[in-house]
Structure 1
């Protein structure tokens, strides 16, 4: 298996899960946010930007993977709002470079890191199942949905099998606290440093913040392995079905870290949804119950304390 974005937060967990299956694994990553030390010893790293078509093709030609887990992405909603062209260059054009190289190399199946947390748009109550109408609210969501359509086109035209995994908000060990994505990692970093955490309002500064479905990274890695084995449908939500406000998240993480949370109100952010929760029924059928937030935050806090 070749894992694009394999030195990153989610990608490195997919690499570990694939290795535990006894598979030969390599990573392709430009190290813009990933880190070489995230990779287990002996895993080959192709230091390549997915926007570089020639370099992507060369990596595929050398490694000759039969499976690809495509995690590499511009993953920030805020950046996509400010720089939609950059978002499309990475998430659509870069993704097409991966698909073309995969087709040439004879790849059997591509597993795509899509987003349920953004594609469905507002989920005012309940949880969005896979047949919930797509209402992308940000350029990031639009690029991910567009690439899902490219995958279906490549399946029909060229026989390249693909699975789209629509992630909720992923958290866990090795998440990068620097930047605008990864609220759990950002909060942990600030809390351990004795700094205040900002809760961006759902509708106005001072409310409890947006509601999100937080899924532990090990469950995301498990879903990638199941998809690679052909055990999932072509479209699968990877979430918990439980919504949590940003304030509750901050306070729960502070408790696990054994520190006091200095929560400061902030205005709503451009491109942010008010509420996003995914229906995990199909996930449960294949993989069982996802890990609950309480246990996931405890494990994440444990890792954050030991790696600070």
Structure 2
């Protein structure tokens, strides 16, 4: 297949692009380089510096004869979305609409749309949260991801295009940047490498579901041929609070200094863990990397820079 990865020079998108390439597909990457890095773009992946809001995106899709789009390009920070909702919506809603209109013009067969299992459900009624939980986003970022999902479904129905929505939990791993939804792993590692104690916000009680980027990439490869017109949680189903995560990073890095306490962050949800049974059943996907091993791989990456 010919696959276009938007946000392909970013943390998750570049790892997914590599997995597609390894599976034998022709991969094209677009990124506006706002948060991307060319060192993340592997040899053999054709790269275009382009914003997803650019009307020339359709020309790239036509030229490269794209069959499937894996849409990772996004404004990824919850706190930034709270500060500037219009900027968030411009990228995460208007950018998605432009991507979908371009896909229609280029006769793309399928869109794999990346959503946020950590925010679209809001504060879940029960944990782990399943895909049947209603939308209840509490931040502009979550709201824009809900809108993106609905636009994908609308365009798919109107134009007989297939889609798979993948709702990630908190993704971490090599190439992670120290901001965004799950940037805490990278933040902890970089701070500890500099010898400084990281800040833990809100007493470290926020519970998250940390999934390794290699496992996320594997889910995208499976979604090329499975899970049409459906949505899936991509997470481990294992709850980990920030204090537990801190201890895991301390253990890997042999760092003994306690964290600095910080205030609760606006827009943060207290607890979110994803039920992944549907992904296991339909996609045949199971997360394989344990948190301690994934943190070790991430640390190894930062040491290599």
Q: Give the distance between the partners of 1:23 and 1:231, measured in 2 at CA.
A: 19
Uncovered stretches (5+) of structure 1, i.e. residues with no partner: 202-206
Count of residue correspondences:
301
CA contact (8 A) 2:235 2:287 kept: no
Match of 2:86 in 1: 85
Match of 2:23 among 12, 21, 37: 21
TM-score by length of 1: 0.94
* Shift in Å, 1:257: 1.4
Q: CA RMSD in A?
A: 1.6
Q: Give the distance between the partners of 2:154 and 2:229, measured in 1 at CA.
A: 17
TM-score by length of 2: 0.94
Match of 1:38 in 2: 40
Uncovered stretches (5+) of structure 2, i.e. residues with no partner: none
Matched, 1:293 2:294: no
CA contact (8 A) 2:280 2:286 kept: yes
Q: Give the distance between the partners of 1:133 and 1:87, measured in 2 at CA.
A: 22
Match of 1:204 in 2: none
Moved over 4 A (4+): 178-181
Which secondary structure does the structure 2 equivalent of 1:196 belong to? coil
Which secondary structure does the structure 2 equivalent of 1:118 belong to? coil
Matched, 1:120 2:121: yes
CA contact (8 A) 2:209 2:236 kept: yes
Match of 2:300 in 1: 302
Which secondary structure does the structure 2 equivalent of 1:117 belong to? coil
Q: Give the distance between the partners of 2:228 and 2:11, measured in 1 at CA.
A: 23
Matched, 1:191 2:189: no
Which secondary structure does the structure 1 equivalent of 2:136 belong to? coil
Per-residue displacement from partner, 1:211-249 (whole Å, max 9, x unpaired)? 100000011111111111225661000001111111211
Structure 1 residues 7 and 306 mapped into 2: Cα distance closer, same or farther (>3 Å)? same
Per-residue displacement from partner, 1:118-174 (whole Å, max 9, x unpaired)? 011113652001101221010000000111111111111111111110000000000
Q: Give the distance between the partners of 1:134 and 1:198, measured in 2 at CA.
A: 31
CA contact (8 A) 1:116 1:166 kept: yes
